[in-house]
């Protein structure tokens, strides 16, 4: 045998051939069913990491299997290319974001190609390219036309030293600027929003349609949308101003003993009395500097200030004080609450802190509550008390229970109404940054907001900008760009200088892939409707909330604009696990220092090279700070793409975390070498006409060895097909490939056409996993065409029928039990099976066998001394 398995020689060769032949282009034939396989496209950070490799390999196997099964597969790739790191690189190193980004794309594209991923590269998109963001701008204008894009004031992070707005990622955990170190302030600026809240209910109810999504992701979406049902209740201040609250417990209204407004509530100024003014102002300023997460943290001590005013409880005309406190947020409900300390824990803590009255309105059956002695709010079941018309009603949310009765009473008396509230807020999309899509509007002193006319799109990002990172947004400083005549009246006007959140770019890229080169339209609706939805989406759990929610929102919006006929973009979703690397930790150290890079540690004696302390050995997600990463490049160079792919697929099921293990990588490399030798050995001696027999030509004339091999072949087809179709159990599929390869190695019928069938089947089943070696071996067999254009094997159920009999085992004429054996077994085989069986061994192991009597089809009797 002359040839040796050398991935370096064959992988690049086949990648070129496939590209030239365009075998991964999306076919046009409409008679085939379509399949859209998509990996979440990457941010072009510089080079691929193992998480990418795993993600894309999983999707690639799915795409390749579907192609072989006769689907028209769309499997595209692109770049989520706008965003902050490019801008930071520009500030740090003076390289233009565009240059940095496109260099990274080139490098990562080359790495993807080395992996042998079957992408339709003709559809590649980069969100930072004008022919893509032109349509992002166009979609924005559609939102504007529909009244779903609007401006309002919102808080931003302001760096007072650099005089610039910061992204959340540029503010450290202590609230300081990443660059100047200055304490970040919150400032109100006019910001653009998309009205996703209009779709809250649909985004929630349509989760039901997503059978192919992990329950955990659907639950995360549900919680994010956060639907609450309850009522609005109309309070009035003592002065007669309307003060409406949202409550999920309108039944507890008789227990409301004070009210709390958010410090930002518009009525605060009117309500504040002269004596309280200074305290209120100081408290408002403090609250403005806190993040929402801080404000609503549960373990925090309650703070607040009385306004000096009162409200009237509409159900009993009681006068109750109005306070402000930061745990009430302006962005939820009405920004004002009725406080029921007896039954709401936050209100209870607040009442205790400020010595406010507590009134019990729900009494549990067993242990009656006493407002004087209770130590926590009681949110549970019971009967309504001290509640006028509600007295005696069972507390609860069911029909005819207290909440329902209360709402009906409020509605009948004009004091409130049934109300649904969502935690979901409108999406703040404007960023005061350079490297993003310019929002295509012009501000005119006389016409107001004027959309840039469609024919003038794209509004290009100017290249010559000051990227020092200081002062207002780089675009705002560029007067030659901002000063334009109003498209509507011609008077001097200014461009919007905010750019869009990059989540906008990724909210529709899967649609652009269906018609990626269209210069006239965002996409052709017929094409999008034909190829959408994505049949299998694969990506990280970190995108379980926002990216998926925004993509679902865009899809529904574009459907409502008449561009799509689907409701949901992603039919099935797979969230792959993390790739973990071996790392060492010093439990006595804190922070980043506790991770000791594995190259500094002797595995036989893991001690801290600095301190000599013993280290803990563990697997953790690969990261730079832990120094436990494995570079895809290195693995590709050492073993080739096929080994890397096989290892990743074999080591763990896709949703589970995967522990990188060099020994297992080596193991897969050896397996590919065995397959290479197995097939090459056959290729050299195969009869020139040696094609596999069709199932029809197979009959009972097969020898037992042939039958056994044929069983192994068809069993592998059945198992692997199941594994790749249901639940994507690629790890067990690879085990089955190994078993089939072993069965071929051990086969006693290497000249039989069944053996040829076995070799071919092994290659076909393995092709989606290890595309290069299988292509090379396919050609070494002189088979026509590419292996990747062969049909996926289907199994012959007849081959899987094993006729078995129960063979009776006797020792000295005494029956000891039965073992299952093939009905076709010969006399000699029966004796061998019986001798080797565990059952017989138990009785004859250490005895001398004097005689063996075999009755074919019935029994084996051992006569022992």
Residues that bind ligand ANZ (CB under 6 A): 228, 246-249, 252, 328-329, 332-333, 335, 337-338, 340, 343-344, 421
* The entry of Zn ion, ligand ANZ, none that residue 421 binds, CB within 5 to 8 Å by partner kind: ligand ANZ
Q: Between 753-766 and 771-780, two packed helices, what is the crossing angle to 10 degrees?
A: 150
Residue 420 in the binding site for Zn ion (CB under 5 A): no
Q: Which stretch binds Zn ion (CB under 5 A): 164-172, 447-455, 782-790, 813-821?
A: 447-455
CA-wise closest residue to 15 among 111, 89, 86: 111
* The entry of Zn ion, ligand ANZ, none that residue 447 binds, CB within 5 to 8 Å by partner kind: Zn ion
Closest to ligand ANZ by CB, 421 or 575 = 421
Sign of CA dihedral 712, 717, 718, 722: positive
Tokens for 634, please give them. Answer: 């290195």
Beta-carbon contacts of 159 under 8 Å, excluding residues fewer than 6 positions away, are 165, 166, 177, 179, 180, 182, 184
User: Least distance in Å: CB of 402 to ligand ANZ?
Assistant: 11
* Contact indicator for 632, 112 with CB cutoff of 8 Å: no
- The number of angstroms, rounded, from the C-alpha of 101 to the middle of its chain's C-alpha atoms is 24
* The entry of ligand ANZ, Zn ion, none that residue 335 binds, CB within 5 to 8 Å by partner kind: ligand ANZ
CA-wise closest residue to 643 among 624, 662, 668: 668
Q: Is 417 left (phi over 0), alpha (psi -120 to 50) or beta?
A: beta
Residue 303 in the binding site for Zn ion (CB under 5 A): no
* The entry of ligand ANZ, Zn ion, none that residue 66 binds, CB within 5 to 8 Å by partner kind: none
* The entry of ligand ANZ, Zn ion, none that residue 486 binds, CB within 5 to 8 Å by partner kind: Zn ion
User: Least distance in Å: CB of 314 to ligand ANZ?
Assistant: 14
Closest to ligand ANZ by CB, 288 or 832 = 288
Burial of 665 (0-12, 13-18, 19+ CB in 10 A): buried
Residue 486 in the binding site for Zn ion (CB under 5 A): yes
* The entry of ligand ANZ, Zn ion, none that residue 210 binds, CB within 5 to 8 Å by partner kind: none
The residue from 489, 798, 800, 849 that contacts Zn ion (CB under 5 A) is 489
Closest to ligand ANZ by CB, 235 or 647 = 235
Q: Tell me the residue ranges of DSSP E strands in 458-521.
A: 483-485, 492-495, 499-500
User: Least distance in Å: CB of 416 to ligand ANZ?
Assistant: 12
Please tell me the distance from the alpha carbon of residue 91 to that of residue 89, in angstroms, as a whole number.
5
Closest to ligand ANZ by CB, 290 or 477 = 290
Closest to ligand ANZ by CB, 421 or 576 = 421
β-partners of residue 165 are 158
The residue from 444, 698, 743, 799 that contacts Zn ion (CB under 5 A) is 444
* The entry of Zn ion, ligand ANZ, none that residue 394 binds, CB within 5 to 8 Å by partner kind: none
User: Least distance in Å: CB of 145 to Zn ion?
Assistant: 18
User: Least distance in Å: CB of 394 to ligand ANZ?
Assistant: 16
Residue 407 in the binding site for Zn ion (CB under 5 A): no
Tokens for 609, please give them. Answer: 């090279």
Residue 442 in the binding site for Zn ion (CB under 5 A): no
Please tell me the distance from the alpha carbon of residue 773 to that of residue 11, in angstroms, as a whole number.
8
Residue 260 in the binding site for Zn ion (CB under 5 A): no
Question: Any idea of the CA torsion for 98, 103, 104, 106, to the nearest 10 degrees?
Answer: 120
* The entry of ligand ANZ, Zn ion, none that residue 228 binds, CB within 5 to 8 Å by partner kind: ligand ANZ
Please tell me the distance from the alpha carbon of residue 565 to that of residue 530, in angstroms, as a whole number.
10
Beta-carbon contacts of 49 under 8 Å, excluding residues fewer than 6 positions away, are 579, 622, 629, 632
* The entry of ligand ANZ, Zn ion, none that residue 444 binds, CB within 5 to 8 Å by partner kind: Zn ion
β-partners of residue 321 are 310
User: Least distance in Å: CB of 285 to ligand ANZ?
Assistant: 19
Closest to ligand ANZ by CB, 248 or 303 = 248
Residue 285 in the binding site for Zn ion (CB under 5 A): no
Residue 484 in the binding site for Zn ion (CB under 5 A): no
3-state secondary structure of 863: strand
Report the length, in residues, of the chain: 865
3-state secondary structure of 303: coil
Please tell me the distance from the alpha carbon of residue 364 to that of residue 369, in angstroms, as a whole number.
7
CA-wise closest residue to 151 among 561, 426, 436: 426
Closest to ligand ANZ by CB, 268 or 573 = 268
User: Least distance in Å: CB of 220 to ligand ANZ?
Assistant: 16
Q: What is the 3-state secondary structure (H, E, C) of 390-435?
A: HCCCECCCCCCCHHHHHHHHHHHCCCEEEEEEECCCCEECEECCCC
Burial of 839 (0-12, 13-18, 19+ CB in 10 A): middle
> Residue count at the site for Zn ion (CB under 5 A)?
6
Residue 488 in the binding site for Zn ion (CB under 5 A): yes
* The entry of Zn ion, ligand ANZ, none that residue 337 binds, CB within 5 to 8 Å by partner kind: ligand ANZ
Closest to Zn ion by CB, 400 or 446 = 446
Buried-state track 256-276, b at ≥16 Cβ within 10 A, e below 16 = bbbbbbbbbbebbeebbeeeb
* Contact indicator for 236, 312 with CB cutoff of 8 Å: yes
Closest to ligand ANZ by CB, 314 or 654 = 314
Closest to Zn ion by CB, 151 or 488 = 488
Closest to ligand ANZ by CB, 152 or 748 = 152
Closest to ligand ANZ by CB, 135 or 246 = 246
β-partners of residue 159 are 164
Residue 538 in the binding site for Zn ion (CB under 5 A): no
Closest to Zn ion by CB, 212 or 492 = 492
* The entry of Zn ion, ligand ANZ, none that residue 596 binds, CB within 5 to 8 Å by partner kind: none
- Locus of tokens 């005494």: 814
- Residues forming contacts to Zn ion in the complex (CB under 5 A) are 444, 446-447, 486, 488-489
């Amino acid at each position: 045998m002359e040839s040796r398995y050398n991935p370096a020689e064959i992988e690049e060769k086949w990648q070129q051939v496939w590209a030239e032949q365009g075998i991964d282009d999306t076919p046009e034939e409409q008679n085939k069913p379509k399949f859209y396989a998509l990996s979440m496209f990457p941010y072009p950070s510089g080079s691929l990491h193992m998480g990418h490799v795993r993600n894309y390999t999983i999707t690639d196997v799915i795409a390749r299997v579907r192609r072989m099964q006769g689907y028209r597969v769309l499997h595209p790739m692109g770049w989520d290319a706008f965003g902050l790191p490019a801008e930071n690189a520009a500030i740090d190193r003076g390289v233009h974001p565009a240059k940095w980004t496109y260099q990274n794309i080139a490098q990562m594209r080359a790495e993807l190609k080395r992996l042998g991923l079957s992408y339709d590269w003709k559809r590649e998109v980069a969100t930072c390219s004008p022919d893509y963001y032109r349509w992002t701008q166009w979609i924005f204008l559609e939102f504007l036309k529909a009244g779903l894009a609007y401006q309002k004031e919102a808080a931003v992070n302001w760096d007072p030293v650099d005089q610039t707005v910061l992204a959340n990622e540029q503010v450290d955990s202590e609230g300081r600027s990443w660059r100047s170190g200055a304490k970040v302030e919150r400032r109100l600026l006019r910001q653009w929003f998309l009205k996703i809240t209009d779709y809250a209910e649909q985004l929630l109810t349509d989760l039901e349609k997503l059978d192919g999504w992990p329950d955990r992701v659907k639950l995360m979406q549900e919680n994010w949308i956060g639907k609450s049902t309850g009522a609005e209740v109309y309070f009035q201040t003592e002065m007669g101003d309307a003060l409406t609250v949202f409550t999920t417990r309108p039944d507890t209204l008789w227990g409301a003993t004070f009210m709390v407004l958010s410090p930002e509530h518009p009525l605060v100024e009117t309500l504040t009395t002269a004596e309280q003014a200074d305290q209120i102002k100081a408290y408002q300023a403090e609250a403005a500097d806190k993040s929402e997460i801080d404000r609503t943290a549960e373990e925090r001590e309650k703070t607040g200030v009385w306004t000096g005013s009162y409200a009237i409880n509409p159900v009993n005309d009681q006068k109750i004080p109005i306070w402000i406190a930061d745990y009430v947020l302006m962005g939820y409900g009405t920004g004002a609450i009725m406080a029921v300390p007896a039954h709401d824990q936050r209100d209870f803590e607040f009442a205790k802190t400020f010595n406010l009255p507590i009134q019990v309105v729900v009494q549990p059956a067993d242990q009656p509550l006493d407002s004087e002695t209770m130590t926590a709010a009681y949110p549970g079941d019971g009967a309504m008390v001290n509640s006028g018309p509600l007295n005696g009603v069972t507390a609860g949310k069911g029909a005819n229970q207290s909440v329902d009765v209360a709402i009906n009473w409020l509605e009948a008396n004009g004091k409130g109404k049934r109300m649904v509230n969502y935690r979901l807020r409108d999406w703040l999309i404007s960023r005061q940054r350079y490297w993003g899509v310019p929002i295509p509007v012009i501000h005119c002193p006389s016409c107001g907001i004027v959309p840039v006319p469609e024919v003038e799109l794209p509004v290009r990002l100017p290249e010559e900008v000051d990227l020092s990172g200081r002062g207002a947004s780089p675009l705002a400083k560029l007067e030659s760009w901002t000063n334009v005549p109003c498209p509507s009246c011609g008077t001097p006007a200014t461009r919007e200088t905010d750019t869009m959140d990059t989540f906008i770019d990724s909210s529709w890229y899967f649609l652009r892939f269906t018609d990626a080169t269209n210069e006239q339209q965002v996409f052709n609706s017929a094409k999008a409707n034909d190829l959408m939805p994505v049949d299998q989406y694969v990506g990280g759990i970190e995108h379980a909330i926002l990216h998926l929610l925004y993509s679902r929102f865009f899809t529904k919006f574009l459907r409502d604009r008449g561009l799509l006929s689907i409701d949901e973009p992603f039919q099935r979703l797979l969230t792959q696990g993390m790739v973990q690397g071996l790392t060492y930790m010093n439990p006595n150290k804190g922070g980043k220092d506790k991770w000791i890079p594995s190259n500094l540690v002797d595995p036989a004696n893991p001690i801290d090279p600095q301190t000599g302390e013993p280290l803990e050995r563990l697997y953790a997600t690969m990261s730079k700070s832990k120094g436990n990463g494995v570079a895809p490049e290195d693995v590709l160079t050492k073993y080739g793409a096929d080994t890397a792919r096989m290892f990743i697929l074999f080591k763990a099921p896709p949703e589970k975390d995967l522990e990188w293990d060099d020994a297992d990588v080596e193991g897969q490399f050896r397996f590919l070498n065995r397959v290479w030798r197995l097939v090459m050995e056959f290729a050299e001696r195969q009869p020139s006409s040696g094609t596999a027999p069709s199932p029809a030509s197979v009959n009972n004339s097969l020898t037992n060895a042939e039958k056994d091999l044929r069983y192994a072949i068809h069993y592998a087809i059945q198992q692997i097909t199941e594994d790749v179709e249901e639940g994507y159990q690629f790890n067990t599929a690879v085990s089955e490939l190994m078993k089939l390869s072993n069965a071929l190695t051990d086969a006693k019928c290497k000249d039989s056409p069944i053996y040829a069938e076995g070799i071919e089947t092994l290659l076909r089943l393995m092709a989606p996993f290890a595309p290069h070696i299988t292509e090379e071996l396919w050609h070494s067999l002189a088979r026509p065409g590419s292996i990747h254009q062969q049909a996926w094997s289907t199994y012959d159920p007849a081959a899987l029928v094993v006729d078995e009999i129960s063979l009776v085992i006797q020792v000295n004429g005494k029956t000891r039990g039965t073992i299952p054996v093939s009905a076709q077994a010969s006399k000699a085989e029966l004796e061998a099976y019986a001798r080797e069986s565990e059952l017989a061994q138990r009785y004859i192991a250490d005895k001398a066998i004097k005689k063996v009597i075999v009755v074919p089809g019935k029994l084996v009797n051992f006569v022992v001394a």
